Amino acid sequence: MTELTGGSALPQERRVVTAIPGPKSLELQARRTATVAGGVGSVLPVFTTRAGGGVIEDVDGNSLIDFGSGIAVTSVGASAEAVVRRASAQLANFTHTCFMVTPYEGYVEVCEQLAELTPGDHAKKSALFNSGAEAVENAVKIARSYTKRQAVVVFDHGYHGRTNLTMALTAKNMPYKHGFGPFAPEVYRVPVAYGYRWPTGAENCGPEAAAQAIDQITKQVGAENVAAIIIEPVLGEGGFIEPAKGFLPRIAEFAKDNGIVFVADEIQSGFCRTGQWFACEDEGVVPDLITTAKGIAGGMPLAAVTGRAEIMDSAHAGGLGGTYGGNPVACAAALGAIETMRELDLNAKAKRIEEVMKGRLTAMQEKFPVIGDIRGRGAMIAIELVKDPETKAPAPEAAGALAKACHAEGLLVLTCGTYGNVLRFLPPLVIGEDLLNEGLDIIEAAFARL
């Protein structure tokens, strides 16, 4: 058990002993409402006491099965042994010096690991930051500095963060952008290969969508004006859309032919989540720059931009950084998380989760026509719900109702998608197979009752 759950001491079981949320959570929720800004939401207002392996324990003594990993963060579990050990040791030595004032080895070691693990055998360098949005912003700074160009191309359904520049890069208005403009200029959005909704069908989608995207870039922006093309190799918040085959390699080739920096935003899809270290490996795409965060440090805030040394070095000395970027405790946690990923072979675990989930979900789809599409890779799996499999009209109410039903039974699931009609499953990669199946039983029962 200890090994399977990455060292979590928590009993790996679902336990529902009160209504969810229970009375103590409701009390805390009242205090929260009085003092926490209303714009900061929570999927499920159940207040956490401990979490680890595949479960989250709350103040009322409930133990929930975790199919969210704090949005694809705690892939190694929320209290993985190596993360706790290394971060605790670092915490006792020093919490901070600021790498820009006096450096420390942990930062360098994380950059060495990133150079080794990311695709491509070219010379690589990295810079570390605190959040995914900050990494994406810095990728844009670096690409502009290298190319001496300004335009940035992003895609329909893309998500890249909530800071001003990354709001501009993000596709969806509500809730991410609404009322928060004006947004940064020189950002252009083009079509992505969304196979399930492509008018001429999924088979034609990859090459057709790539041709449309490239046509728009050349006609509306001018390839020679583009500093960077930024894409998530599997789109996260936009609905776990895997760009149809051929799309990513074609866009990467176009970028290369035109001196454009190709940036893979692997903040959600990276670090074993899809059954590979990085999702872009699936079609052999080697990005110029890659942004990482979420799964990198077992729950501690850390983010990185990694890429070709000559691009990374193009920013002038002192041009990149930040007070906390690459915090020593977060770096120690990252080294513990990466150690856990290697030792427990979490890529293999993610592939096994895919096998179990897709098997069960495919059987459900035969019974429940509301399940329009099953997609994703590894432990990044989603189902898109529709009112009718022919028209594919989105069914966000069904997704909301299903999530609610799962929560009441002690299974934490998340929704996503441009139309709000996608249920996404992001269990910690260390979840036990019994819990995984119990979670899927709950989903199946919820569909039966819908």
Ligand X SMILES: *Cc1c(COP(=O)(O)O)cnc(C)c1O
Does 326 interact with ligand X (rule: CB under 6 A)? Answer: no
Distance CA 90, CA 417 (A): 39
Phi and psi at residue 382, to the nearest 5°: -140, 155
Does 60 interact with ligand X (rule: CB under 6 A)? Answer: no
Does 81 interact with ligand X (rule: CB under 6 A)? Answer: no
Least spacing, CB of residue 235 vs ligand X, in Å: 8
For every residue of 144-182, DSSP letters joined together read HHHH---EEEEETT----SSHHHHHH----TTTTTT--P
Task: Kindly tell me which residue out of 21, 77, 106, 236 binds ligand X, with binding defined by CB under 6 A.
Answer: 236
Does 138 interact with ligand X (rule: CB under 6 A)? Answer: no
3-class state of residue 11 by DSSP: coil
How many positions of this chain bind ligand X (CB under 6 A)?
14
Task: Kindly tell me which residue out of 117, 136, 171, 217 binds ligand X, with binding defined by CB under 6 A.
Answer: 136
Instruction: Please say which residue, 277 or 447, places its beta carbon nearer to ligand X.
Output: 277
Burial of 107 (0-12, 13-18, 19+ CB in 10 A): buried
Does 287 interact with ligand X (rule: CB under 6 A)? Answer: no
Instruction: Please say which residue, 161 or 299, places its beta carbon nearer to ligand X.
Output: 161
Distance CA 346, CA 296 (A): 13
Do 430 and 76 meet the contact criterion of CB atoms below 8 Å apart? yes
Task: Kindly tell me which residue out of 293, 386, 406, 416 binds ligand X, with binding defined by CB under 6 A.
Answer: 293
Does 129 interact with ligand X (rule: CB under 6 A)? Answer: no
Instruction: Please say which residue, 65 or 169, places its beta carbon nearer to ligand X.
Output: 169
Does 265 interact with ligand X (rule: CB under 6 A)? Answer: yes
Least spacing, CB of residue 366 vs ligand X, in Å: 31
Distance CA 141, CA 303 (A): 15
> SS3 breakdown of the chain: % helix, strand, coil, rounded to 5?
40, 15, 40
Phi and psi at residue 60, to the nearest 5°: -95, 0
Does 8 interact with ligand X (rule: CB under 6 A)? Answer: no
For every residue of 284-299, DSSP letters joined together read T---SEEEE-GGGGTT
131: Cα within 13 Å, side-chain hemisphere = 8
3-class state of residue 14 by DSSP: coil
Task: Kindly tell me which residue out of 6, 132, 239, 378 binds ligand X, with binding defined by CB under 6 A.
Answer: 132
Nearest alpha carbon to residue 142 among 278, 222, 261: 261
Does 267 interact with ligand X (rule: CB under 6 A)? Answer: yes
Does 156 interact with ligand X (rule: CB under 6 A)? Answer: no
Task: Kindly tell me which residue out of 25, 79, 138, 268 binds ligand X, with binding defined by CB under 6 A.
Answer: 268
Least spacing, CB of residue 68 vs ligand X, in Å: 13
Does 278 interact with ligand X (rule: CB under 6 A)? Answer: no
Does 159 interact with ligand X (rule: CB under 6 A)? Answer: yes
Does 232 interact with ligand X (rule: CB under 6 A)? Answer: yes
280 CB neighbour count, 10 Å cutoff: 29
Instruction: Please say which residue, 154 or 386, places its beta carbon nearer to ligand X.
Output: 154
Do 24 and 370 meet the contact criterion of CB atoms below 8 Å apart? no
Angle subtended at Cα 71 by Cα 68 and Cα 76, rounded to the nearest 5 degrees: 75
Instruction: Please say which residue, 21 or 378, places its beta carbon nearer to ligand X.
Output: 378
Least spacing, CB of residue 271 vs ligand X, in Å: 12
Q: Which of residues 363-392 bind ligand X (CB under 6 A)?
A: none
Region of 132-140, 210-218, 349-357, 403-411 interacting with ligand X (CB under 6 A) = 132-140
Q: What is the 3-state secondary structure (H, E, C) of 199-212?
A: CCCHHHHHHHHHHH
3-class state of residue 306 by DSSP: strand
Least spacing, CB of residue 130 vs ligand X, in Å: 8
Does 271 interact with ligand X (rule: CB under 6 A)? Answer: no
In the complex, residue closest to ligand X by CB: 132
Region of 33-41, 153-161, 240-248, 339-347 interacting with ligand X (CB under 6 A) = 153-161
Region of 16-24, 25-33, 111-119, 262-270 interacting with ligand X (CB under 6 A) = 262-270
The site for ligand X (CB under 6 A) is made up of 131-133, 136, 159-161, 232, 236, 265, 267-268, 293-294
